[in-house]
A and B are shown apart, each in its own frame.
Chain A
Amino acid sequence: MASADSNNNSFKKLGKIEENQAPQPSPQTERNVMGTARNVGFIGNVLELYFSKALGMLSALFGGTDITEKSEKAKELRDGSFDNDNTIEPGGRVN
């Protein structure tokens, strides 16, 4: 195993020297990399925000139930706000 101690390791010393002597990557390279990061991040956020809505709308358009509607209903049920036409009481007795 190579020694981790850079005092006895010429490879590590050389690495440090080369790193200090090497020019910086150009500002253009940095701009391009960060531009990609921002763009991909933006697209990711857009997809996350709107994709589920768009999917729900498409689903509703073709006659299915909008999944966002479903999840809102599920949320209401979790929160305890039942619909008026709910015929089953919490105790289980049917009207």
Chain B
Amino acid sequence: MKTPSSFRGKSAKSPLSKKTDSEVIKLYLKTQRSDYFGLLYQRYSTKVFSKCISLLKDEALAQDATQEIFTKIFLNLAKFSERSKFSTWVYSITYNYCIDFLRKRKKSKALFSDEMENPPDIVDDVPDSALLEMEVMKLKKVLELIPTGDKAILLMKYQDDMSIKEIAAILDKSESAIKMKIKRAKHKAQNVYRDIFPNNLN
């Protein structure tokens, strides 16, 4: 993993790098030393930044978002309860920030396919394997073409292994609403795939 400039070179030698996220958080809360928080920044900044670029599609916005997200993480670190993994908590703040940002900016535009005027009728469930086994570059193309909210919800479920309950908490929706959103997002992704790659059976 790439590391931010001021921590490069330190991480490999430092015994701190062997500590788990949970141990680093405890040390930070106990001592308030900023280098412990720096270690968490080092571990997650590239992942958070890459998610922000993927969702916001703008590098400058992603820089600002990364800064805001880490400030939020820092200010709420004492509230982290370890009910979920720290990475899940960090990504939930990331998705929450990006979705909120896009909602505010787009206002009238639908962020999820089921918010469109005529949401797609769903008869059959798309099997997980249809998406999970899709060729990576084709999946990338498909994710670029579906609504950003649909992309986010699919990434939460299939890339970050978040549970329905965790996604529901991030999007402030009921678990059944989330199940429906995932179903619609999968359907949307499959339709886009068939449109852009009509000759593929995958």
State in angstroms the CA–CA spacing of A11 and B157 once bound together: 10
Size range of the interface on A? Answer: 20 to 34
The B27-42 residues at the A interface (CB cut-off 8 A) are: 32-34, 37-38, 41
Interface size on B, residues (CB 8 A): 44
The answer to whether A15 touches B159, judged by C-beta atoms less than 8 angstroms apart, is yes
The answer to whether B32 touches A45, judged by C-beta atoms less than 8 angstroms apart, is yes
Any B CB within 8 A of the CB of A19: yes
Any A CB within 8 A of the CB of B43: no
Grouping DSSP codes into helix (H, G, I), strand (E, B) and loop, the B interface class, with mixed when no group exceeds half, is helix
State in angstroms the CA–CA spacing of A71 and B166 once bound together: 45
State in angstroms the CA–CA spacing of A13 and B136 once bound together: 7
A38 with B158: in contact, given A2-B128, A23-B59, A27-B5 (CB under 8 Å)?
Answer: no
Which of A's residues lie within 8 Å of B, judged by CB? 2-4, 8-15, 17-20, 22-30, 32-34, 36-38, 40-41, 44-45
State in angstroms the CA–CA spacing of A8 and B5 once bound together: 34
The B129-176 residues at the A interface (CB cut-off 8 A) are: 131-136, 139-140, 143, 154-155, 157-159, 161
State in angstroms the CA–CA spacing of A20 and B49 once bound together: 11
Q: Contacting B74 at CB < 8 Å: which of A9, A14, A36?
A: A36
